[in-house]
Every structure is written in C-alpha cells, then in structure tokens.
Amino acid sequence: MTDLSAFPINSRWPAQHPDRLQLYSTATPNGVKVSIMLEEIGLPYEAHFVNIGQDESWTPEFLSLNPNGKIPSIIDPNGPGGKPLPLFESGAILLYLAEKTGKLLPTDAALRYETIQWVFFQMAAVGPMFGQLGFFHKFAGREIADKRPLERYRNESRRLLGVLEKRLEGRKWIMGDDYTIADISMLGWVRNLVGFYEAGELVGFADFPNVAAWLERGLARPAVQRGVTIPAKP
C-alpha cells in the first residue's frame, strides 16, 4: 500500500485509500475543473473537502502542498516513475491528468497545442475577470461607491464571452466535435457567472446564444453533473 505519511497534508486530511489519487478541493469554478475531469476519465480518487470559508487552505498542512494557498491540489500516488506526485494549479492538473490517461486532449501535436491555448485563455482571462466581476457585483465590492471597477470587469467579461461566442460558431465544443479539457476548464466559470454570481443580465448573456447552448450541453453531461458537487461539504 502507498505510504503518504511523508506529506504533511495527510495529517489533516488523512487518506482512507492512499493508493488512489488524492484531491483537496472545494466545489468552486476552479475546484470543479478537476473533479469533473476525474469523473470524465474514470480515474479512482479520494476527495477531501477544504473549507476555504474557514481559511483551511492557509493552514500549514495545505500550504505544504500548495504554497499559493489555493484549491485545488492533488497528490497522485502513482505519478511518473511510480512515485507520488504533488501538484497544484487547476490548469496544470488538467494537463497532467489528460496526458496520464490519454483522454480529452488531442494526440495530434497541432490540435494539442490549440487545445492548450484555450485552457490558458481560461486561466489568464476568463477565470480572473469573471471572478472579479463576481466580487464587485455580488460580494463586498458592491459596497464600493466608485462603480468604475464593476464597469471594467463587466465590459471585459462581455468581451471574453464574445470571444467564446465566435469560437463556438458552428462548433459543438471549443475544439469542434471533440469535448476536451478546454471545455472542462471553462464550464464551471460560465456556469457561476450566470448562476452563483447572478450576473447574466449584467453582462447581457442572452446576446451569446452559442455560449448558452454550449453551457447547456456541458451541464447535461453526467460526469459534469457529478463533478460540480464534489467534494461535498461534510
């Protein structure tokens, strides 16, 4: 049996199945990227709920795995060379799991990099912009009298939705007929934008029918429906 005792995070979130991939996460847009991916590829894993509302991601145990203090993070007990691999950053984890299993990432070199560029688009633009919009629209930022930050993030979020809208014209998924990690990286963020953040009207989501249809297709996938609820709160 794999021994994970060398990882301090195991003392706070002990592995019941140390031979399985360990996921430390919360069901946020970044967190569900990895749980959806794991559900899609069917790789056995064990999910641990990290309560970010109680700053558990800033505990010494979690920081030992991810010094940036953000979910999700993983430990794969069966990493390269058969050694445990700790990994953080959701985009990096998606790439790792795709390459490990040979799933949801094209093998053709050109298509592979085209897919990766859309994952980076999500990481660099969609996530940060939608997240800031949510802060200024729904959370503490709404109390700020100066509405220029909200306007900036609303306008940028609309622009990004426009990029996705054009990309999805005549396409079922971001890469065409094939569902990939590019889709997985963005589904949770677009879902939160119009759901949890309640910003659909603010950004004029009705103006992006291709994005709306893509989101509906994605959310209809059984693995996505399971993944957006993982890890469940205790």
| Domains of the chain: total | 2
Q: Is 109 exposed, middle or buried (0-12, 13-18, 19+ CB in 10 A)?
A: exposed
Domain-embedded: residue 17:
yes
Output the six-digit token pair for 59: 């505990």
| Spatial separation of the C-alpha atoms in residues 73 and 136, rounded to whole Å | 27
* CATH number of residue 50's parent domain: 3.40.30.10
Question: What integer is the mean pLDDT of 24-38?
Answer: 98
- pLDDT value at residue 144: 86
Q: Are 172 and 107 in contact (CB under 8 A)?
A: no
Instruction: Convert the pLDDT of each residue in 154-175 to its tens digit.
Output: 999 999 999 999 999 999 999 9
- pLDDT value at residue 177: 97
Q: Are 208 and 12 in contact (CB under 8 A)?
A: no
Output the six-digit token pair for 181: 């990690």
Q: Are 36 and 21 in contact (CB under 8 A)?
A: no
* CATH number of residue 142's parent domain: 1.20.1050.10
96 with 122, same domain: the answer is no
The residue among 88, 101, 2, 127 whose CA lies nearest residue 42 is 101
Instruction: Name 158's Cβ contacts closer than 8 Å, sequence gap at least 6.
Output: 203, 204
Phi, psi angle pair for 41, to nearest 5°: -90, -15
85 with 142, same domain: the answer is no
Q: How far apart are the first and last CA of the chain?
A: 26
94 with 34, same domain: the answer is yes
Name residue 104's amino acid. Answer: L
Assign 140 a pLDDT band (cuts: 50, 70, 90): confident
113 with 217, same domain: the answer is yes
Instruction: Convert the pLDDT of each residue in 53-83 to its tens digit.
Output: 999 999 999 999 999 999 999 999 999 999 9
Q: Which domain holds residue 29?
A: 9-103
Q: Is the pLDDT at 145 greater than 90, yes or no?
A: no
Q: Are 161 and 211 in contact (CB under 8 A)?
A: yes
Output the six-digit token pair for 189: 């963020």
Question: What integer is the mean pLDDT of 27-47?
Answer: 98
Q: Which of 51, 79, 103 is the last residue of a domain?
A: 103
Residue 130's Cα: distance from chain center in Å? 13
Domain-embedded: residue 135:
yes
| Spatial separation of the C-alpha atoms in residues 96 and 79, rounded to whole Å | 10
Instruction: Convert the pLDDT of each residue in 71-128 to its tens digit.
Output: 999 999 999 999 999 999 999 999 999 999 999 999 999 999 999 999 999 999 999 9
Maximum pairwise Cα distance, the chain: 57
Q: Is the peptide bond prior to 128 cis by the omega test (within 30 degrees of 0)? A: no
Instruction: Convert the pLDDT of each residue in 179-218 to its tens digit.
Output: 999 999 999 999 999 999 999 999 999 999 999 999 999 9
Q: Is the pLDDT at 129 greater than 70, yes or no?
A: yes
47 with 94, same domain: the answer is yes
